[in-house]
Amino acid sequence: MYTALLWILILDSLVLVAAVLLQAGQGGGLASLGGGSGTEMVMGGRQAVTFLHKVTWWGGGVFLGLSLVLALISSRNAAPRPVLEGTPAPAPVQQAPLPLETTPQPQSQTPAPPPNR
């Protein structure tokens, strides 16, 4: 079911992209705000609702709904997993060989000569 809903979402996104790209621009964009003070300039006025306009709204609603359903399905199926799952175990640490132990040599009892000055 998850895969089928995911394919429907992909198809809906393609339809939505095509509907948005095929629509005619509203003219001016942000440049239209500077010239006029009427509400038609700011709000765009009342325009005829076209087929592409309806497809855009329906496609957006279906996309939003399917995204929400898929997010809920995927969160319910996900079980908590350990963070370290799937990582290989670290290799054991190799200790360097210890140096050969030697018996300490007794120090001579004669004092060292004073340094020459």
- The span from the CA of 62 to the CA of 9, in Å, is 8
- The span from the CA of 9 to the CA of 34, in Å, is 39
Does residue 11 form part of some domain? yes
Does residue 60 form part of some domain? yes
Number of domains in the chain: 1
The helix/strand/coil state of 50 is coil
Q: Is 0.85 topped by the overall pTM?
A: no
pLDDT (tens, 9 = 90+) of the chain, 117 residues, equals 889 999 999 999 999 999 989 887 766 555 555 555 555 555 555 666 788 889 999 999 999 999 999 999 988 877 777 777 777 777 777 777 767 766 666 666 666 677 776
Structural domain including 75 reads 1-24+49-79
Under DSSP, the state recorded for 34 is: T
Q: How many CB atoms lie within 10 A of CB 19?
A: 19
Does residue 31 form part of some domain? no
